[in-house]
Structure 1
Amino acid sequence: MKLTKKEKVEMAEKLRSTTVVKTIISKEYENYLNFVTCEERNIHTRDGDAHIYIVSPKENKKVYPLYINLHGGGFVREYQKRDTLLSSKIASKLGCKVISVDYKLAPEHPFPSALNECYDIVKWAFDNAADLSVDRDRISVGGHSAGGNLTAAIAIMANQSKDFKIKLQILDYAFLDAATDPKDKITDKDVIPVDRMRAFNSLYIENEKDKSNPLVSPVFATKEMLTGLPPALVITAGKDCFRFEGEKYAMMMVEVGTEVKIKRFLNSKHGFVENCREEFKEAQKLIIETLSQSFN
């Protein structure tokens, strides 16, 4: 049954007001804010103005590497403080700038709005690298859950358009298969209920045919679309049903010659990196180390 606009908004409000896993923010983690500056800006995109946070280390450099971070939340839940905190940790540890994107949300802005917006922001960063004091040869993009989906789609789009060349893509417990019903993915280890996953999908994807669109479900990308993608770090969680599609996509990239580093954190659940739970310290360390290697 197709939902009305009002029903979709009500569903989104419920998803935004509830959570299945609470974020743990320690004083040590929050302290990373003291080592950076954070500037909010609005950037014009094809879908209107986009809100971004530019997080910069306090150390002065003539030019910085750049990491663009795309948050999770099923394309429906909003940008949170935890996203600025992770960006601050990365910026302070690596001496790089981080653009953290507060992209538009479904159902008010369904596919492809968030994707177009994020793609345009990445292109803007490349086009304005000099003004940002950024080295355009050292720009990487990564995301968590829905943000990982957007990252993979941006890499595919850029591979075809040749608008820019990402140095590294980071897919952190990414959602990569909308065509498979959540009930066929779920295991007894998962923390996200089937109905909640279905709700996220239905609010983001208006047209049923788009569920197998490679820009919604990158696991449906052809070899031609994947050939030439930038190196990738793929992180999955052992207690998350998205691990199967994440690892499938990693192997699809390997098969066409993409350099891929993959790590499954066996004792972790979906959202652990952003929520600072389970093996988050090890995963964040891996992200920072892999970014450092790509920048140097």
Structure 2
Amino acid sequence: MTIRRPLSPLFWALAQIGSRVRVGAPRGLPEPSTRLPAPTGLRIPTRHGVVRAVVQRPAVDDPDAPVVLQLHGGGFVNRYPEQDLHIARAMADRLGAVVVLPDYDTGPRVQYPVAEEEACDIARWLQAETGAGWSGDRLLLGGVSAGAKLAINICQQLHAASLPAPLAVALVVPVTDVIRTDRTSGVRRPAISPFVQRFVGWAYFPDVPRQQEPLASPSRDLALPAAMPPTLVLTGGDDTLAPEGAELAARLRSGGVRTEHHVFVGSDHDLLAGRDRAVVIEALDRITGFFARELGRPRPDGLTAG
């Protein structure tokens, strides 16, 4: 059921602007060590219709290549997956992976749980697709901010359906609780202010009672550790959402999930797209290094993921 939002001309105008924001990769990043092909397009079926995706392939085709579903951020309103192309290039170059960047639906045109369900359908399609140049049983998930929440949501839905989990997931500045709108940071003008939190709720989570559902707010999911594969969590020390990331990492670790957590001191919510080139480079190193280690680990069935 679609919930009518309270009238807010300001929020509506911000949503239209936010959906069109085009964020490019930070300048000055190292070039890939291999000559990567240009990104291509892909159309993926979901229960809510076909979703456009951008695909970055590695320099050498390999039918057994891992496939990474990388979900961009943007407060559940932005529609520009290309903002993560620098992440995709690093993964394709260093892991030999095929990286898929979906243009999932966002608010206010749609509302929760459309993006969550689209993300799960895309993951299942990637796992099931054959002859496309990747191995579906070597699925990895990555996400930034809102996209990190969607990556968690994929794991929740696959677990609930008793379907295979991804090999690993990398979460950058994850959103885990959409109920609270009072969170603050110690810096004067944080990227995520209470105003931004209220705007996101209006745009994509207008049905307030449903914000408490585990799929909307994974921090409320009592069974979350059972659904999660090995997990990397990267947070910025000045990010309003940093405590959520720390709580998530601690909870997963105490629940028996192999978990790595790193805090970038002095960084805000934009740590993977900000001006601090050293932070972006280190974050990419940590993500690709984590995935490389997990691809080489034995799986529970006795085989190796790599």
* TM-score when normalising by structure 1: 0.89
Deviation of the 1:248 alpha carbon:
0.7
User: For 1:189-221, what per-residue CA distance to the aligned partner results, in whole angstroms no more than 9, with x for missing partners?
Assistant: 523332122102221102101222111111101
Q: Report if the CA contact (8 A) 1:142-1:170 is conserved.
A: yes
* Cα distance between partner residues in 2 of 1:32 and 1:78: 29
Q: Which residue of 2 aligns with 1:77?
A: 78
The ranges of structure 1 where at least 4 consecutive aligned residues each deviate by more than 6 angstroms after the TM superposition are 30-33
Report the equivalent of 1:98.
Answer: 99
Which position in structure 2 is the counterpart of 1:41?
Answer: 42
User: Which residue in 2 is equivalent to 1:138?
Assistant: 138
**8 Å contact from structure 2 (residues 81, 101) kept in 1:** no
SS in 1 for 2:94: helix
Alignment counterpart, residue 3 of structure 1, candidates 6, 26, 38: 6
In structure 1, C-alpha distance between the alignment counterparts of 2:275 and 2:105, rounded to whole Å: 24
2: distance between equivalents of 1:55 and 1:23? 16
In 2, Cα distance between equivalents of 1:274 and 1:227:
31
Q: Tell me which residue corresponds to 2:285.
A: 285
- Which whole-Å deviations, capped at 9, do the CAs of 1:48-100 have from their partners, x for residues lacking one? 11011121112132420111100000010121533123212211121111111
Secondary structure at 2:70 match in 1: strand
TM value normalised by structure 2: 0.87
Shift, 1:26, TM fit: 2.2
Alignment length, in residue pairs? 291
Closer/same/farther in 2, CA of residues 136 and 146 from structure 1, 3 Å limit: same
CA distance in 2, matches of 1:42, 1:275: 30
Contact 2:142 2:151 in 1 (8 A): yes
Residue 32 of structure 1, CA deviation:
8.0
Deviation string for 1:99-138 (max 9, x for gaps)?
Answer: 111111111011111111111000000011x222322332
Whose strand proportion is higher, 1 or 2? 1
- Rounded to whole Å, the distance in 1 between the matches of 2:174 and 2:291 is 18
Distance 1:56 1:7, change over 3 A: same
- Identify the residue that residue 211 of structure 1 maps to in structure 2: 211
> Alignment partner of 1:155: what SS?
helix
- 1:56 is aligned to 57
Q: Which residue of 2 aligns with 1:239?
A: 238
Deviation at 1:17, TM superposition (A): 5.8
Secondary structure of the structure 1 residue equivalent to 2:186: coil
Give yes or no for the alignment of 1:201 onto 2:204: no
Letter in 1 for 2:261: I
Residue 100 of structure 1 aligns with an amino acid whose one-letter code is L
Task: Say if 2:124 is the partner of 1:149.
Answer: no
Partner of 2:111: 110
Residue 15 (structure 1) aligned with residue 18 (structure 2): yes
1:167-197 deviations in Å (ceiling 9; x for gaps): 001111011111122x334433523332122
| Aligned mates of 1:247, 1:207 — CA distance in 2 | 27
Change beyond 3 A, Cα 1:277–1:236: same
More helix by share: 1
> Which string of whole-angstrom CA distances, capped at 9 and with x for unpartnered residues, describes residues 128-168 of structure 1?
1x222322332111100000011111111111112232100
How has the CA–CA distance of structure 1 residues 37 and 6 changed in structure 2, closer, same or farther, with 3 Å as cutoff? same
Segment of structure 1 superposing worse, 257-266 or 59-68: 59-68
Per the alignment, in what secondary structure is the counterpart of residue 201 of structure 1? helix
Name the CA distance, whole Å, in 2 between partners of 1:261 and 1:217.
Answer: 21
Whether the 8 Å contact between 2:191 and 2:270 is mirrored in structure 1 is no
- Range moving further from structure 2, 22-31 or 93-102: 22-31
**Which residue is 1:120 aligned to?**
121
Gaps of 5+ in 1: none
Say what the alpha-carbon RMSD is for the aligned residues: 2.4
Match of 1:68 in 2: 69
- Kindly state the Cα deviation for residue 33 of structure 1 after the two structures are TM-superposed: 9.8
Q: Deviations over 1:198-251 (max 9, x none)?
A: 1022211021012221111111011x3432521100111101011101111111
For 1:262, the equivalent position in structure 2 comes to 261
Aligned residue in 1 for 2:177: 177
Between the aligned partners of 1:107 and 1:33, the Cα distance in structure 2 is 40
One-letter code aligned to 1:241: T
The answer to whether the 8 A contact 2:38-2:56 is kept is yes
Identity of aligned residues (%): 22
Query: What are structure 2's unaligned runs of at least 5 residues?
Result: 297-306
How has the CA–CA distance of structure 1 residues 274 and 119 changed in structure 2, closer, same or farther, with 3 Å as cutoff? farther
Match of 1:187 in 2: 186
Other structure's SS at 1:281 match: helix
